Amino acid sequence: MSFCQQCGTEAAVATLFCASCGANVTAPDVKAHDPNAPLFAAYADLGPKWVHNFALMEQAGGVRLPRLGALPIGDRVRVLFNIWALIFGPVYYAAKGMWRKGLALFLVILAGLVLVELAAEIFGISDKKIYVISNIVVPLIFAMRANIDYYKKMVLGENGWW
């Protein structure tokens, strides 16, 4: 069991940053994104990109990202956006072993689109506008959820909505 050197809060075993103050709780000579750090042993086979992404997510406060604003803009984009999930959507989720979550997210989005389509018909909004919006919004939802969902799977051991 370790404690934050800055504020004294108890730190989780596999954490890199204090959930309270955001301070690095790894050894002082270890950089947060160093793939050789002992806390990254579980992620070593994922490669340096994911090690760095996970470190940024922990620095931002974990899944809810309460300290995201403290990160530089490039790091914020890296945490919040995944280009491969934008392109491949549920297929990307399946490739990362999160097929149930990808399928559930797809079905929720599909149900939402059906409701939007019904509302558009009631209010007389053209189908073309709905298709354009859905072709932008649906991929963005996958792109903005993928890194957080993968972090939840790999670091927190949570892999499902069902």
Comparing 67-71, 108-112, 131-135, 139-143, the range with the smallest average pLDDT is 131-135
Mean pLDDT, rounded, for 51-73: 90
> Using CA atoms, how far apart are residues 161 and 98, in angstroms rounded to an integer?
10
The whole-chain average pLDDT of the chain stands at 83
SS3 108: helix
Residue 32: which of 59, 60, 1 has the closest Cα?
Answer: 59
Mean pLDDT, rounded, for 21-40: 55
SS3 10: strand
Whether the CB-CB separation of 17 and 25 falls below 8 Å is answered with yes
pLDDT tens per residue, range 40-56: 566 667 888 888 898 88
> Is the pLDDT at 23 greater than 60, yes or no?
yes
140 versus 27: which is more confidently predicted? Answer: 140
> Using CA atoms, how far apart are residues 152 and 70, in angstroms rounded to an integer?
21
Residue 149: which of 102, 108, 88, 107 has the closest Cα?
Answer: 102
SS3 65: coil
Q: What pLDDT band is residue 13 in, cutting at 50, 70 and 90?
A: low
